[in-house]
Every structure is written in C-alpha cells, then in structure tokens.
Amino acid sequence: MSTILVVGEHLDGELKKASAQTVGFARAAAAINNGEVVGLLIGSNLDGVAAAFATTGVDRVIVVDEPTYANYLAENHTPAVVAIARDVGASIIATPATTTGRDFLPRVAAALDAGMVSDVIEVYNDANAGLAYKRPIWAGNLIEKVSSSADVTCVTVRTTNFAAPEPVAAVGVDKRSLGLGQAAQAEFVAFQQVKSDRPALTDASVVISGGRGLKSAEAFGMLEELADKLGGAIGASRAAVDSGYAPNDWQVGQTGKIVAPNLYIAVAISGAIQHLAGMKGSKVIVAINKDAEAPIFQVADFGLVADAFKVVPEINEKL
C-alpha cells in the first residue's frame, strides 16, 4: 500500500481551507492506488491546527512542533518534509499550489530525486500508466496529461478543482521533534501580512474584480461597497494592478491568484487569457463591460453591456 503525504498549511493558529481541499485530492489518489493518506503539519504551537487537520479525512496526522519552525522558511521546511516523507515511505507528497507550496516542494523533489507535477487539477487511473494527473498549460487553453515513473512524486494541487471531504471523527495525532536546527543559509526577517475584514480572496464564495477600465483606484470604492453588501472579496486584473489602481494581493490570473468562487463579477475587465486562467473555474460568472466584443463575455454566464460607472452604483442602491 502506498502512502500519500499531505503537507498542510496554516496561519495564525488556523488550518487553511486549501489544506482540506488537498486532502480531497489525496483521497481521490488513494482510491486509485489503495493508499494511506497521512497529514503533516510543521510549525510551532500547533495543537489547535492539528485537531482541525485530524477531522479532514486523513488517516493519521504527524506534527513537527518546534520553535525552529515558528516562522516559515523554505530552507527549514524542506529538510523537515524530506525527513518525514522518508520515514513514512511516501510515494506521493502533495501540498496546495500556493506561493508557499510552490516555494518548498520543488526543493523537496530535488532532495528526494523525485518527480514533480505542478498545478494538478485532476487525478485519474490511466490504462497504461496507472495513476496519472491532468494540469493546465498555455494559460489553461490546453490540458496536459502527466504520469510519473519516479518512486516518489511531488504534486502541487490547484485546490479550486477539489472539494474538501466532509468532516469526520478525529484521527490520531503523532507529535514529533526532529531536532534539525535552524538553516544556516537563511534568516527570517519579517512576515508582512495583509489584514482585511473581508474573506480571503482564494476562500471567498463571492469575488468582485475590477479592471483597467475603472481608470482609478477611487473607482474601486464602488466595488468594495458591492463586495461588502454580498460578503465577498475584492479582486483585480493585472492591468489594474500594474496601473496602480489596486494592490498586488488583489490580482487574479495566471500570475496572480487562482479563484473559483460560487459567484465571480468582472467589472470593466476585458478578459485577457491570463486573467481568464485565474477565474474561469468560477461557478457563475457575471461580466459588466461597455465593449460588447470583450473576450470576457465568451466565458460569462451573464453579461451586461453597459458603463460600469452607471450600473454598479445602481446595483448597490438596489441591494
């Protein structure tokens, strides 16, 4: 029986939603290769996080809880993951395709001489290769099928494509101390966290995004009002971010954040393929643009050809 190691993410004492969605990927893979799903948490003071992770559908949880790992550094994280992966005999090591996962997992793959498959959107049983993966390429315009012949395969998971399993009774938690010490070649300086009363962009069920057509940062105010009325998050196209209308952490797209909310409202966004790659998995897409030929309308479920400066305030008023 193979072992699938899921490296969970957490922040401020809470398990990230993406971790449970990665367990969804792992359970799908385990159903194909009859594997065991082991959760791994690395950090400090993780009792609450471990208790939450233990109910996500993993078969057991391993916790490396040491002051060394109080602040994330890839240089510290990597040897810890490698040590646990070797100990449990992991054949697949999976983590969310976030900035953190993309940072440390290729290092883990290099250390283990493992295969590496990024941005997985589906796992399936191939008639010839056995366990195989699908991942988007060319800004999501093509889907690539990938199999790995390596003894160990590292996988970053596009979590918007996997549902978190229903919560289950808590499994056992195994606390360990590795004693590997602080990495000599790196030093933690600071973590500059963006705080907001709105939901996190990648977790929100409603996202309202603005594009360069809004022409100013002040115009995003009407989108923020709409987001507050709908309990949603604010996003932006790269063009809006590059123009200085919105902060970097709002960027949705191939070079920003990948989102798949229940409702995505694109306001004054033309719909470049790089932006579509980050949001076309949304359940319902609404586009508001005065250009009837804008590419965004090709993926929209509902489209309104109108001036955003007139209709968005009207929508806010009616809500």
Convert the pLDDT of each residue in 223-243 to its tens digit.
Answer: 999 999 999 999 999 999 999
Q: Which residue from 50, 25, 28 is spatially nearest to 39, judged by alpha carbons?
A: 50
Q: Is 104 left (phi over 0), alpha (psi -120 to 50) or beta?
A: alpha
Strand ranges, E, within 237-309: 263-267, 284-288, 302-304
Distances (CA, A) of 236 to 159, 196, 243, 279: 20, 16, 11, 11
**Residue that has been written with the tokens 């009002």 in this structure:** 225
**Residue that has been written with the tokens 């093509």 in this structure:** 142
Over range 206-213, report the average pLDDT.
Answer: 97
- Contact predicate 26/37, CB 8 Å: yes
Q: What is the pLDDT of the chain when averaged over all its residues?
A: 94
What would the two tokens of residue 88 be?
């449990």
Quick one: the chain helix, strand, coil %, rounded to 5?
30, 30, 40
Q: Is the pLDDT of residue 1 over 70?
A: no
Q: What is the pLDDT of residue 184?
A: 74
Q: Which residue from 122, 140, 95, 164 is spatially nearest to 258, judged by alpha carbons?
A: 140
Convert the pLDDT of each residue in 142-198 to its tens digit.
Answer: 999 999 999 999 999 999 999 999 999 999 999 998 888 777 788 899 988 777 788
